[in-house]
Chains A and B, each alone.
Chain A
């Protein structure tokens, strides 16, 4: 009898618990933690190829440093040092990311030896001319969208949640987003951005996932703009977690003269 009750309880609670585990907000939250916040810090040498519809390429090569200064979903600091294109060598870019408020951004222009703060209200602006937006690089606030679980399906052999996120504000650059989130790693394996009329505008794909220090990491990714035919391919030449970045690195002084050991 006791067993039967337990079994019945299990039968009733099981699905409920599974549903709870699969709450769309939670999925997105876990996904953001896995995608943008793994480790205490992160360092990567990034190759970015901007490819025109005609197949012409522009290359951006940089070192990207990230330090988590808060919880997953909280504050972060980013530092970027550019190697390519040739005439922007030594240019650096720093972002203090705050949830629910505009980020602070600074840029060092070596040709005129000047650091400038950069005001940026539009997080959906293109990141260094690529098909990625600033938001794609550093994440979007969880509460900016209404998330719903559209379905669960297998993508390229991986079990995925398919979550539909609809921006609450109509100032967003798109109408809705569908994310295929790997049930195991919680990394987004594919994303589709739809315009308000419902047609797909941009498609993100995770092309290579590697485990780095125990963190599943997307080391190759592509963002394709279906309307313009333009696409951007990003690959990590090298990457590492918990390298011991210090908060003092993220300052105007180092923006002008970044320590070699962190950028090479």
Chain B
């Protein structure tokens, strides 16, 4: 009753309603200047999360950096030539001056320490201090690179054509800014060298920044497209604006709320305007029905009230299910995901309120003469759209068994596709195949040990344990074991330094390319090394009391699966080699794995919760288990088919897709709610005066047209994303466009088929179901 009077009041005092709505929007708009942004996807896990605390500890213990950029330099005739070497030297000198770069630990030809024996003297010094000016010097450098296993695959490719400069970043530095500066530096170098800039911080920070830019661009574009499509459908400028008004208000209010509560706008919440705009298309059912009603009665106010009476209930339930889909994200552990879910759920509920106040109020301002002209075509007996929709519904109602059988087959195929889905989150692959970031990553991963860095930390229970030859042999064995994995391109540890010194002290006698026999030897070699090497060389691989050792693992892919396999191999080795040493993963690749799992499973958890809650809401809505079940079918069918396609297409199930799951749930069920709700209303109205097939056809043509309009508007708005330069947007766009169209089709074809086939069970209450 309350809502009817709400609509009544709004129609009575439309100007007040409009005024109040604008006031509300203005109120939330006042919060906008407080906006802070956070483009770092890493912050999706709070700083207190176990993985971040663990990584911080490891970084502190071993003097490591959270983030590292890799600059690759390739020359087809080999990088050891005076020109290229001079460039490497010059570039390195410029790199250490970039703000945000941890200058003291940049690893390049001119800074990386080499241990050699020359003219009877042991030498620990940077590999190259001056560019050699003669052939002898070049040959010596080539030999130095080739003979030291610490260099191969790390700073020189086995074919000698590619080198890399490893650029660690200070905490809080932006990978994108450093990468941009690097691009400038290499651009100033004329020459035949090719450069590649890769590494997680580049991808991550570039993605974060791009995402914000894109959202700022796509939200207005989607809005404009929606406006244009609405105008094309209703041929009224005013009506198109009336459709956009609630969308604008809920976007302002929900963003204003998030900002006002003090949350930074994160990459996640930056997506909410586009989502809210799409959700706001739900109000199209009001306009759709109003056109029919007005056409039939010709009386404006009565038509508004009748419209709200007819579509009111489905609107309430569709908005609630959508809100539930997003509110389910609030079960997540990740705060930006929670905030996003909360913001969109809030906006959706506000939309519901506006649908019963602002939208009817706006309808009262429509000029009667104009509307008469444009609604003239809204007769569902004649128009082409109408006959198409009716035809679609008759496929289902005439040949229900065949239709369902075909559907069943499709489901089987889809289930098979779903089983092939590969869960992964590869940040680098969020960029297009031809993009600079992807190419750089590919080039470097082909030539060198890998751009993705993880650590395995070996911890013993007593100090100085890592000077034990047995402990070193254990670590060496672990390195060889990890290197058997195809995506592990390089590992190194304190063992490599000890072996190197052993070999060099013994005049490169290959017999001594092993871990020495005694603890004294190990201790003295390490001391000797530390006497002249950069302190960080040793600090990076052993802790102060020699209780822990750190093994660097370079991987050739950012796929979280690679890290998962490294951990599995690590555990397997630990099991097979008893030793009082505990092995633990760390590093950015490990962080990405945890991030991936947490974000993904939070989404899946939300999705499952939403599945249950939506079903309960459907039962409450229809007051019937059977009808809830029936209207659930298009939803499940749509989602299964889409994920089936994802499985077959070999597209990874990643973060963007998991976010979509929650959205799809709330949206895909909407059409079924409208259809079933209106169908049952129709049956109640016409009593037994209409055949089942005709009632279904009417439903398909009347609210069905609203469904089609909704789907098209929605799909139109999201189709802009197909042209985005980042693959997650293309995925989101393609997913939503096909989801809307598919669930509309499913609703209009499969619901009639199901209802026809199960009429005995479903329509038992109807007295005339027997004829």
Contact = CB atoms under 8 A, between A and B. Distances in A.
Contacts of B516: 111
A196 interface: yes
B527 A85 contact: yes
A195 B528 CA distance: 28
Contacts of B522: 87
A120 B528 CA distance: 13
A107 B122 contact: yes
Contacts of A110: 520, 524
Contacts of B625: none
Given A87-B519, A129-B538, A121 B129 contact: yes
B505 A114 contact: yes
Contact of A116 (B102, B121, B125): B121
B97 A118 contact: no
A88 interface: yes
A228 B528 contact: no
Interface residues of B, number: 43
Interface stretch (A5-13, A28-36, A49-57, A251-259): A49-57
B97 A119 contact: no
A87 B129 CA distance: 33
A109 B526 CA distance: 11
A128 interface: yes
A119 B118 contact: yes
Nearest to B123: A119
Contacts of A52: 63, 539, 544
A111 B125 contact: no
A117 B531 contact: no
B524 A125 contact: no
Given A54-B60, A56-B544, A107 B121 contact: no
B125 A109 contact: no
B543 interface: yes
B498 to A, nearest CB: 12
Given A54-B60, A107-B528, A196-B97, A122 B129 contact: yes
Contacts of B124: 118, 120, 125
A120 B516 CA distance: 25
B521 A56 contact: no
Contacts of B103: 195, 227
Given A54-B60, A87-B519, A128 B123 contact: no
A210 interface: no
Given A53-B60, A129-B538, A118 B524 contact: no
Interface string B430-470: 00000000000000000000000000000000001001000
B543 A227 contact: no
Contacts of A47: none
B19 to A, nearest CB: 58
A124 to B, nearest CB: 10
A93 interface: yes
B530 A128 contact: yes
A184 interface: no
Given A129-B530, A197-B97, A118 B122 contact: yes
Interface string B265-302: 00000000000000000000000000000000000000
Contacts of B543: 56
A88 B521 CA distance: 9
B545 interface: yes
A68 B530 CA distance: 27
Given A122-B129, A129-B538, A227-B104, A116 B122 contact: yes
Contacts of A122: 125-126, 129, 532
B126 to A, nearest CB: 7
Given A122-B125, A129-B538, A87 B533 contact: no
Nearest to A52: B544
B579 to A, nearest CB: 20
Contact of B524 (A91, A131, A171, A195): A91
B532 A57 contact: no
A112 B521 contact: yes
A125 B520 contact: no
Interface string B521-559: 111110110111111101100011100000000000000
Given A58-B544, A114-B505, A230 B122 contact: no
A156 B86 CA distance: 47
A106 B63 CA distance: 30
A112 B524 CA distance: 9
B524 A87 contact: yes
Contacts of B519: 87
B695 interface: no
A126 interface: yes
B5 interface: no
A127 B530 CA distance: 8
Given A87-B527, A127-B531, 9 more contacts: A54-B61, A82-B527, A87-B523, A111-B518, A114-B505, A119-B123, A126-B532, A129-B535, A130-B535
Interface of A: 50, 52-54, 56-58, 82, 85-88, 91, 93, 107, 109-112, 114, 116-122, 125-131, 171, 195-197, 227-228, 230
14 contacts: A58-B545, A86-B523, A110-B520, A111-B523, A116-B505, A117-B122, A119-B118, A121-B125, A126-B530, A126-B535, A127-B531, A128-B527, A196-B97, A230-B535
Q: List the 6 shortest-distance A-B pairs measured between CB atoms, nearest first.
A: A87-B523, A56-B544, A129-B530, A119-B121, A119-B123, A111-B520
